[in-house]
Chain A
């Protein structure tokens, strides 16, 4: 699947299927620090992602 990461914006390929929780674990990302967006929906950690999916892993921590 295609995974879009931010800061800086980049794309990585990750082999599916796997759950959102496993994806974050594999990318070594703390779940509380991001939202995972598929299309126009937010997906929780138990949702299974397929190889055809494109997901954005959007950081939520910002300065200011």
Chain B
């Protein structure tokens, strides 16, 4: 298999583009996809301060690398979720990545900041570990961005993540979530702007990018992820992509272009300040504070 650009031996095949690339031209291809996404959705404006949520995994570290290569200075924030050796190892990889490149990294220990670890939250509440983790990450990352005076929170969700989330939201007809599933969530009082520049980069491509760029990332899977329904959907969607290359980008791209506006009204809900933390919520006490109360109440 030969590189579409230079005819050298290919390192990565991208079937949905009916192409293969050598290392150098694959890196260029990924950079072009991300740059195009940032430009098309007006994700980053001059002078905006960027904070990227980094986990030590391939997507967030690859994205941090790509943003830097494209000339976008971003600081990183790592959430220590307290998942035993897995969190320690992921933190070490993230620290090494940042220090080798002279990038600024803040570490937020959620036990110190909020009083519980993810395993504790999962065992003390009715939520699954992944649900408690997702809710905590959304809250703590926004908090870190607000606290640090950042304008933009950058997330490493890739094409497969977005496709699986979209499929989950369709299967459950979560119309409110469908209205909020966009490449850019504009800033609102209490929330910084959130962007997803890897929208056009498949999961396999972020992994290939990381390997080809010599990025040492956490290859092990989170020990709490077993049975995660979104992961099952991702496995199913990879099978779909294998049988029908381009299916995921059509699904997500079509939704972003034509579908999400149909649900916009559903996402316009009345928000007011959480009685506990002051962040916007639809109820009296926000979902994160309810989780925190249950996870930290006296045993």
Binding site for B on A (CB under 8 A): 6-7, 30-35, 37, 41-47, 58-64
Q: Interface digits, B53-88 against A, CB 8 Å rule (1 contact, 0 not)? A: 001011100000000000000000000000000000
- Give the contact-size bracket for chain B: 35 or more
- By a CB distance below 8 angstroms, the chain A residues around B212 are 42
Nearest CB in chain A: distance from B248 CB, A: 9
Q: Interface digits, B122-143 against A, CB 8 Å rule (1 contact, 0 not)? A: 0000000010010000000000
B225 beta carbon closer than 8 Å to chain A: yes
A42 near B234 with CB under 8 A, answer: no
Residues of B206-247 contacting chain A, CB below 8 A? 206-208, 211-212, 219-222, 225, 228, 230-231, 234-235, 238-239, 241-242
Given A31-B242, A35-B204, A35-B208, do A44 and B55 touch, yes or no (CB 8 Å)?
Answer: no
A44 near B20 with CB under 8 A, answer: yes
Nearest CB in chain A: distance from B224 CB, A: 9
Stretch at the interface among B10-18, B37-45, B167-175, B179-187: B10-18
A41 near B55 with CB under 8 A, answer: no
Residues of B157-214 contacting chain A, CB below 8 A? 160, 202-204, 206-208, 211-212
A32 near B207 with CB under 8 A, answer: no
Given A6-B219, A30-B242, A32-B238, do A63 and B204 touch, yes or no (CB 8 Å)?
Answer: no
A64 near B55 with CB under 8 A, answer: yes
Q: Closest chain A residue to B206 by CB distance?
A: A60
Contact of B13 among A30, A44, A63 (CB under 8 A): A44
Give me the 8 closest cross-chain CB pairs, A-B, nearest first.
A63-B225, A60-B207, A44-B1, A42-B11, A60-B204, A33-B238, A32-B242, A63-B231
| CA of A44 to CA of B13, assembled, Å | 7
A63 near B221 with CB under 8 A, answer: yes
Q: Closest chain B residue to A63 by CB distance?
A: B225
Compute the total of residue contacts between A and B using a CB distance below 8 Å.
Answer: 75
Contact of B241 among A6, A7, A32, A63 (CB under 8 A): A32
- By a CB distance below 8 angstroms, the chain B residues around A44 are 1, 10-13, 20
A64 near B11 with CB under 8 A, answer: no
| CA of A37 to CA of B208, assembled, Å | 10
| CA of A33 to CA of B238, assembled, Å | 6
- By a CB distance below 8 angstroms, the chain A residues around B242 are 30-32
| CA of A14 to CA of B241, assembled, Å | 27
Interface centre among B10, B55, B133, B211 (most CB of A within 10 A): B211
Given A32-B242, A35-B211, A44-B13, do A60 and B203 touch, yes or no (CB 8 Å)?
Answer: yes
| CA of A34 to CA of B203, assembled, Å | 10
- By a CB distance below 8 angstroms, the chain A residues around B235 are 33, 61
| CA of A42 to CA of B235, assembled, Å | 22
